[in-house]
Structure 1
Amino acid sequence: MSVELMSDHLTKTLSQVRSELLAGLSDTDREAYIYLVDWLRETDVASRALRVGDTAPDFLLPDAHGRLHSSEHLRSEGPLVVSFYRGGWCPFCNSELRALQAVKAEFDSLGANLVVVSPETRDLPRQLKQQLNLDLTMLADVDHGVAISYGVLFRVPDDTKAHCAGQGYNFGHRHGSTEWMLPMPATFVIDQDGVVRNTFVEPDFTIRQEPSDILTKIRQLAGSQTEDASPSDE
């Protein structure tokens, strides 16, 4: 993607990008998309996800360069945003990553740590960082442990597995596992005490939370913490 196209892409909302990507789907891909979303809704996978007020399980995961990152340490520095994405093969995920990259400086200015989590292992996260020119902390959810603990993991249904395999994707190979598992794309805002303060979990994997909405939640969280820290009137 050229610099000009990248710049144009980043000025659009994720909703606009989604509409363009959906319009370009083949009939077969569209049928597969509808099938999986309907299946996720019918099985109510989203009901298992963490909710506001829950304590977020801590984790220790490697980044694209093999360095380990502790959620406990990250949230000690300020609000922690954990965003799950399916993988670099998913154009909707790549659009979300570009959009998050575009506002990374705003996350930094608010003292918030942003991590994006995927089941992809081996050299895939590093390759994706280079491909999309990302400066995000990309973590590999080895053995799907974090997605399980956050309640967003599901076993890929057979029809979807057959469709993806036909497209040349082998999730078992990409994830270093014999099981075909994926996370629902989801975003969690966690405060410094480890409490979930905002969630976005949507079975329709083409819909993602706008980065501007995440930033609004972080500002609200920062404001409430400032009020809590203010001395009370006597």
Structure 2
Amino acid sequence: MTIKFKPFHYLVLSTALLLFVGCKDEPQTENKETITMETAQTEDGTRPLEEDLNNRKTDFEKKASADKKKIYAEGLQALEESGITKNALQVGDVALNFTLKNASGKEVTLYDELKNGPVVLMWYRGGWCPYCNMTLHHMQEALPEFRKNGASLLALTPEVPDSSITTKEKNELEFEVLSDLDNTVARKYKVVFKLTDDVAASYEKSFGLSTYNGNKKAELPLGATYIIGQDKVIKYAFLNIDYRKRAEPQDLIRFLKEMK
């Protein structure tokens, strides 16, 4: 995992790399120096999202077959060797502008949102992914605090609009869910990757990834999260090859407070 901060901002996150497992199969980083640290805790000593994600992961690992674990371990290895977390946009880079449609078909432009305050920009793989749904739920709970600190939240997904509407309605989200068809924006931010053939086949058999994404490219984004300042510069970057590791909302809130 790669976390990068301005020198005076030291948030703390795990560096563990875990098995790359398929969601539906369960069923359902200012300078260029990388700073890696141990796990931080919220003020009350808890990390609610991390706990929920770990519980889900533990449940799966008790039930998954050896063959399935092997396939996804190989997928993880390939992703690690690709160097994606080092090649993605990092802290200090200028965030690239984009315009995407939300679940209602309205166009949303990043630079327009930045006129009102910092933007928390995150990717999720799809409504088919329980880890993603947990993350969206926790982000929704944190939304009032984001707004109190002047920030808005944009969530990007490669799902076709019909699927993103279902996810938005299902999770009762009050922030923008934007359809990044064909991972166009994810590709510009360099957080998209191609699944190995075996993982892609497993996803297709299990839930039909091509139907959700509207193509057969077998590509997904990392569960990346950025905080972008009003100067259009990336201030915070959470980049991890394991989609079961996500930015903890309390860390984001604490960082936004320090940005003021």
Q: Determine if the TM-score, normalized by the shorter chain, exceeds 0.5.
A: yes
Instruction: Single out whichever of 75-84 and 39-48 deviates more from structure 2.
Output: 39-48
- Structure 1: gaps spanning 5 or more residues: 1-10, 223-234
TM-score, normalization: structure 2?
Answer: 0.77
In the alignment, what sits opposite 1:4?
A: none
What amino acid maps onto 1:186 in structure 2? A
Q: Does 1:15 align with 2:50?
A: yes
**In 2, are the aligned partners of 1:52 and 1:197 still within 8 Å (CA)?**
yes
What does 1:55-204 align with in structure 2 at a 5 Å threshold?
Answer: 55-170=94-209, 172-204=210-242
Q: After superposition, give the CA deviation of every residue in 1:14-39 in whole Å (9 maximum; x if it has no partner).
A: 21112211122132454444333222
In the alignment, what sits opposite 2:9?
A: none
Q: After superposition, give the CA deviation of every residue in 1:76-126 in whole Å (9 maximum; x if it has no partner).
A: 110011001111111111110000001111111111011010100131111
Q: CA deviation at 1:177?
A: 2.2
Percent identical: 31
- Structure 2: gaps spanning 5 or more residues: 1-45
What amino acid maps onto 2:118 in structure 1? P
What amino acid maps onto 1:94 in structure 2? N
**In 1, are the aligned partners of 2:227 and 2:236 still within 8 Å (CA)?**
yes
What amino acid maps onto 1:199 in structure 2? A
Structure 1 residues 52 and 85, CA gap change in structure 2 (3 angstroms): same
Q: Aligned pairs, how many? A: 211
In the alignment, what sits opposite 1:27?
A: 64
Report which of the two has the higher share of helix: 1
Who wins on radius of gyration, i.e. which is larger?
A: 1
What amino acid maps onto 2:247 in structure 1? Q
**In 2, are the aligned partners of 1:37 and 1:205 still within 8 Å (CA)?**
no
Structure 1 residues 13 and 33, CA gap change in structure 2 (3 angstroms): farther
Q: How far, CA to CA, are the matches of 1:99 and 1:35 in structure 2?
A: 30
TM-score, normalization: structure 1?
Answer: 0.85
What amino acid maps onto 1:45 in structure 2? I
**Structure 2 residue matching 1:103: 3-state secondary structure:** helix
Aligned residue among 33, 42, 45 for 2:84: 45
Query: Aligned Cα RMSD in Å?
Result: 1.5
What amino acid maps onto 1:213 in structure 2? D
